[in-house]
Structures are given as C-alpha cells and as structure tokens.
Amino acid sequence: MTPCFVRVALDHPLTALYDYRYPLEAPPPQPGMLVRVPFGRREAVGLIFEVSTHSDVPANKLREVDAVCASCPPLSEQWLALVGFAADYYQRGLGEVALPALPQALRDPSRWARLLAPEERYRVLPAGREALPEALPARAQVLRRLAQALLDANELDLVDARALHPKAAASLESWREAGWVEYESVDFGAAQSAASGGAKNTGSAAESPPLHQLSDEQTEAVEAILESRGFAPFLLHGVTGSGKTEVYLRALAGLLEREPDAQALVLVPEINLTPQFEAAFRTRFAGVLPDDAIVTLHSGLAEGERARHWLAAHTGRARIVLGTRLAVMASLPRLAMLVVDEEHDPAYKQQEGLRYSARDLAVWRAKQLEVPVVLGSATPSLESWWHAEQGRYTRLTLSRRAVAAAVLPSVKLIDLEEERRRGRASFEGLSGPLIAAMKARLERGEQSLIFLNRRGYAPVLSCDACGWVAGCPRCSAYVVLHKPERALRCHHCGWEARIPHSCPDCGNVDIAPMGRGTQRIEEALASAVPGARVLRIDADSTRRKGSAQALFSDVHAGEVDILVGTQMVAKGHDFQRVSLVGVMNADNALFSHDFRASERLFAQLMQVSGRAGRAGLPGEVMVQTRYPRHAIYHALARHDYVGFANSQLAERRDAHLPPFVYQALLRAEGRTLEAALAFLAEAAQALAAMPTASRVMAYDAVPLTIVKVMNVHRAQLLVESSSRAALQATLRAWLPTLRGLRGVLRWNLEVDPLDI
C-alpha cells in the first residue's frame, strides 16, 4: 500500500508543521483530525492540517502517529481556515492558535475514550444545600472541597468529582441515599448519533412564551437582519434598555424557523452575564428547541462540562452557543448567524497567549461563511462606529427604551469643589446630595446603585509622619488595603501581608488608609443610610464559583436596597428596581496617558447610567466630580453618544491614531529594565534595516506604567502604519529576527493593542 504522511500542528511557538508517518491500519487520515504523536521525549496532541503521499523529511527521522481521537469528528475546513487566519494575522504558530482553542479534555489523550461515554452527574437538592455545609467535619478538607464544588455549580460530573476526591463516587452515593443529591445518566454517544442526522426542533413555535410587542425600530432591525443575504455586518446602536436582546432573540427565532438545522453563536463580554442571557434564551425557545440545544462556553465551566458543550456544538447538536470570547473559536459546522453583545467591551480582547479580538474574529468568521453578524452596543467602539460611518457596516438604531413608560435617566453633576466651598459636609466621599437621594429611594422602596471602579478598602496605606506608603516588594505598585481580611494585597501579582500595627520606617502607630474602595464605601453606607440593606459586588465578593449569580439574584429579588459595585455591575444587567445611580471617583480617568481612556470612561458612565429607570421608574444619575464642565460629562448629561463619538474621531484623525492607523506592540520582560530596553533597541535597529521600514513608524522603547511585576521589568516598543497590509508584511518579516534575539526572559508581539 502507498505510504501516507500527515503534517501536524503542535502547541509550539514555531510556525512549522511536523511530518509524521500515518499508520496504515488507522482510519483514513483527514485534515482536522486530532492525533497523539511523539515529540522529543514526550507525547503530544496535535492536529492534522495536511495529508500527503510523500515527505521531505528523511525516512530514518520520521516518527509515526501513535493514536487517533476517534471520539471527535474531524474539524471542518472552515474551522482550520479560521485558525490559519488568526495565526497569520496575530503572528503566531498554527498550533499555538488551534490547540488552546480546544477544551482541555480533547488535549488529554487519556480522556479520549471517555468523551462519548454516558455522562454521570449529581445535582444538589435543597435538602443537601442546607445539610451539606454542617454535615462534614472541618478536618475532612478534601471532602469539603468536593461538597463546595457541588454547591457552587449545583451539579457535578463524576469525572470532575473524582479529580477533586479519589473516592468521590462513594461519597456522592451516600449523599444520594441521604436525599441530598440526585443522580442522572446521559448517554452522550446516543445523543451525538441522533444529532449526526441533523438536529430537529421539538415542539412548535406555538408552545413558546407569548412575545412582547416590538417597537417600530426593533421591527425594522429584525427585518433588516433576516432579509440580509450573504455577509452582512450590522451595528445595532441602541440606548440602554432599548431591547437589543429582544432583537437578537427575534432574529435568531426567524433564522431557526427558516433554516431548521442552522447554528448561531452569541458572545457576551463577561461570565457573569451568561446566566441572565441563558435564562432569556431558554425561556424564549422553550418548546421550540430541546434543552441541550442551547449550551454555554466559558472558562468558568468545569473541564468535563466545557468538553461536552464544545462537542455538542461541534457535532451540530447545539443550535445556539452562548459564550465569552473563547467561544468565538468554537467549532460550529452549520453556523448561520453571529451576535456580539456589548461589542465595545475591552474584555473581548485576550491579554495573554494569543492576543486576539473576539469581536474582530467574529466579523471575519461571518465574512468567511457569508452570514450576518450583529454587533450590539449603546456605546459602540470608535472602530465599529467608523466602519458604520464609512458604510462598511449597516447601522440599526434603537433610540428609545423598550418599556413605554421608561425614559432615559436624568443626569446631575455634583460639583465636589462647590460642595467644599459652601461647607457642605460629606461622609467618606459620599456627598450630601447623594446621601439624601439614597435615603429618598429607601423610603420609596426603590434601589440605588453606587458605582466605584476600585475594589478593596483603600488603594493606599500610608504614614503621615514620615511619608511611608505600603508598596509591593515584587512590583512597582502600591498594595491595596483589604480591611475585612485584615490584609494588604497587590492586585498585580497577588502578594499579601498582614496590616502592620505601626509604620515600619518610623514606628508611628497612626498609619491610615488613603482613598476609597468598594469595601470602604460599603462600610460607610451602613452609617450614612441607616436601615439600608447594602450589598457589594466586585471581584473579591465573587471569588467562589456561582457566587456572582447568587448575589445578582438577591438584587433582582429586591433583597438589597443599595448595591455597591465595580464595572461588574455596570453593563448588561436589567435591574428593575434601581432608580438611582451614583458615580464616584470617575475623574481619575480624565488624565490617563492612554488615548482610549476617554472612550472607555464615557462608555462606562453611559453603561452604568443605563441601569437606572429601566422598568418605568423615574431614573436619576448623580456623578460626583471636580470638573463638572468637562466635555465628557456634558455629553453624558445629554446622552449624546453620537456627538461624543464624532468629536473623538476628529481628534483621532488629527493625531493619526486608530482607527486611522494600524498598530502593533512589542513587549519585552527582563530581569532588569536595562535588559528589556536593550532588547527593544536591538529589535528597532533590525526593523529599521528592513525593506518595508519606510512604510512603518517605530516609536522609542519606553518602560510600562507599572514597570515591575513579580520582580520582572517590562518595556514596550510601538510600531504603526497607515497601511494594514504594510504593517502585516513588516511584522511577518520581522519575526525571525526577533526569535534570534537574546537577553530577555520573554517577549510578545500584539497586533491591534488596546492598552498602550
């Protein structure tokens, strides 16, 4: 028989594919198949990209494929093309893009045989939720960890449970006998076999819940999306509360009615937004789609659960996939529509590894498949707004709130300098007018939201006597005071220490916190608004899995009078009882060195303002500021995104900034700052000697704002060009030189950086 060879991509920084002999007795090879191969002295999982009858590698150096993953059907040609584009555009190896995009279970050959095995899972019952925390002895830490994982996730797969406790099966069975959990077995292999013939609807549209009456603008938006043919990018610009989610739902319902086997991908920026989206989608498609036809994909899922959801999408069984940025790389063979909610959100840009933009890849994927893509936001990114202005995107506008009685909230600017000059008292940074407004809402049974984008108790702990400030020994940054934990914590590297009793430099015992974080405001509100039930939602209060969903449920249930939070509460949430939003400490972003700071601040303020008055209650936003005449605040008071965006674009055009130029950022990390800067200087010299150097501009290498993190010093070199093609060609030619340079711990090249 004719020998067969395959070219395999491995999770490796080099861009090369590796040749292997393919065993004749194995199933016929196809691009997109997962294989286990020897690589050096270890075994590695790779992805076949090419199949050939010959290889240029000498026969005595060729090694053979060890195993093929029969549980996972080959990835499609379109998916491989997506990976190829991302690798080329973001200047990474094929394997560096392809393999991390797959669930961990697919990258672990020991789990391949179990991928299609019947799924055994245990779901906690109300009785167990009450009994489990008290029933387990404190010394049984491993068993308590198993119980906590079950309580956090509500259900637990037996495979994931065994990873937490070697005797998990016996413990879960004993809890089942006690009436604390229930057992369920799902034959995933049978479900996949049924799906391979094409997923079918169960039930009919008549069984779905009654639909709300659409506004004229919503109707026009839905019709435009459904009437589109081929690649059609839409920018859905709707004010907060205008019913963008309803447009998504109607468009998807129309798509599934027209194309019964179609799949759709819906992206949201953060994990804590997925529960409310999933609930809305399951309610709308109840009786129309099977329960397992709607799945979620995000990093908060257990590995087994993520693998099952990914495979459901890959085999076509899942019809609607809802996820965060990593879901944009999911395999969906019949993908017919993409939706990116809150498309402006920086969370769509990956900041480690492959530094991709999920929004941009979603648009490219829609173009590749010739399908519509909907980008929704009340405050679109300036890049998307510019594309709409140039006619590349079709703009759909929702200018009014969906609830007839709901109007946009009024915005009041509280001049802190004027308050001080008039001798009006404030309490821990809370102005008198804001406190009075919260008390009025409390009396009326309404809710208030205080937005402060700074977690912890205070950002600085200092000594007035000698000027000492608590800093991180591993980073060039101050540590944040966390009073409930009685700890100082670095938010960059995680270093922690106990709060000192006195100044370590001079011995002064009157060390004091400076500034305010959410913990301090939560504490202050207990005194400022007596009787109010105060809840804090930030990264510290939602560390445990499932805790964010539980806290938001308390807010929706009316069990909270005042919600204090960071950006986690600023977007996407539909708080029906919130009629007042107070904004603290927004001025800091007015003086940032980052040219995108104004855009981010305005979007943040517009988004958090939109949490007020959504259900017909009169909404009010109170912004505390020392600069009430700043243009950003005046645009906010008018809810004038269009005017703000156009003025920002004019400034960007004059300053030759994105979206009018294209940028890439080379970062270097070394044991010393001098080493990092020397590496970048050598890289800049190599760039200047390239044939395309005249078409790009390289700025001087500079240290990062936080120059040292974890005892590693960091610097950056910005490269830009007015031509995307010229920048890409230059980066492609520059990479081999960069790989040959030495002297730093590591470096990375980011295309289209957001943080400079």
Whether the CB-CB separation of 97 and 83 falls below 8 Å is answered with: yes
* Cα–Cα distance for residue pair 573/342, rounded to 1 Å: 12
Whether the CB-CB separation of 739 and 702 falls below 8 Å is answered with: no
Structure-token match 């703009």, residue found:
395
pLDDT for residue 112:
83
pLDDT for residue 573:
81
Q: Which helix (H) or strand (E) holds 322?
A: strand 320-323
pLDDT for residue 195:
40
pLDDT for residue 98:
95
* Cα–Cα distance for residue pair 232/739, rounded to 1 Å: 39
CATH homologous superfamily for the domain 410-458+515-650:
P-loop containing nucleotide triphosphate hydrolases (3.40.50.300)
Predicted structure pTM score? 0.88
In the 8-state DSSP scheme, what is residue 685? Answer: H
Residue 493 assigned as binding residue: yes
pLDDT for residue 205:
38
If we measure between CA atoms, which residue out of 540, 583, 534 comes closest to residue 554?
Answer: 534
Q: Which helix (H) or strand (E) holds 18?
A: strand 18-21
If we measure between CA atoms, which residue out of 291, 352, 356 comes closest to residue 328?
Answer: 356
Helix (H, G, I), strand (E, B) or coil at 583: strand
pLDDT for residue 208:
52
Residue 472 assigned as binding residue: yes
Q: Which helix (H) or strand (E) holds 173?
A: helix 168-177
In the 8-state DSSP scheme, what is residue 38? Answer: E
Whether the CB-CB separation of 520 and 455 falls below 8 Å is answered with: no
In the 8-state DSSP scheme, what is residue 561? Answer: S
pLDDT for residue 59:
87
Domain with CATH 3.40.1440.60 in the chain: 5-103
Residue 506 assigned as binding residue: yes
pLDDT for residue 204:
36
pLDDT for residue 302:
79
In the 8-state DSSP scheme, what is residue 735? Answer: H
pLDDT for residue 404:
67
pLDDT for residue 118:
63
**How far are the Cα atoms of 323, 437, 522, 616 from residue 443, in angstroms, in the given order?**
39, 10, 19, 18
- Helix%, strand%, coil% for the chain, nearest 5: 40, 25, 40
Residue 466 assigned as binding residue: yes
Give me the CATH topology for the region 662-751. Alpha-Beta Plaits (3.30.70)
The tokens describing 82, both together, are: 């997506």
pLDDT for residue 121:
78
Domain 218-301+320-398 grouped into CATH 3.40.50.300 = yes
Domain with CATH 3.40.50.300 in the chain: 218-301+320-398, 410-458+515-650
pLDDT for residue 187:
55
Question: Which tens digit of pLDDT belongs to each residue from 507-527?
Answer: 999 999 999 999 999 999 999
Instruction: Give the torsion sign (CA, 431, 435, 438, 440).
Output: negative
Residue 463 assigned as binding residue: yes
Query: Dihedrals φ, ψ of 143, to 5°?
Result: -65, -35
Residue 503 assigned as binding residue: yes
Q: Which helix (H) or strand (E) holds 291?
A: none
The tokens describing 491, both together, are: 């938010």
Cβ burial of 486 (10 Å; 0-12, 13-18, 19+) is exposed
Residue 72 assigned as binding residue: no
Residues whose CB falls within 8 Å of the CB of residue 223, separated by 6 or more in sequence, listed in order:
none
SS3 track for 97-145: HHCCCCCHHHHCHHHHHHCCCCEEEEEECHHHHHHHHHHCCCCCHHHHH
What stretches in the chain show pLDDT beneath 50? 189-207
Give me the CATH topology for the region 5-103. GIY-YIG endonuclease (3.40.1440)
* Pairing label, strands 487-489, 562-565: unpaired
* Cα–Cα distance for residue pair 547/552, rounded to 1 Å: 9
If we measure between CA atoms, which residue out of 134, 137, 169, 173 comes closest to residue 151?
Answer: 134
| Dihedral-angle region of residue 81 (phi above 0 means left; psi in -120 to 50 means alpha; beta otherwise) | alpha
Question: Which tens digit of pLDDT belongs to each residue from 367-385?
Answer: 999 999 999 999 999 999 9
Whether the CB-CB separation of 266 and 543 falls below 8 Å is answered with: no
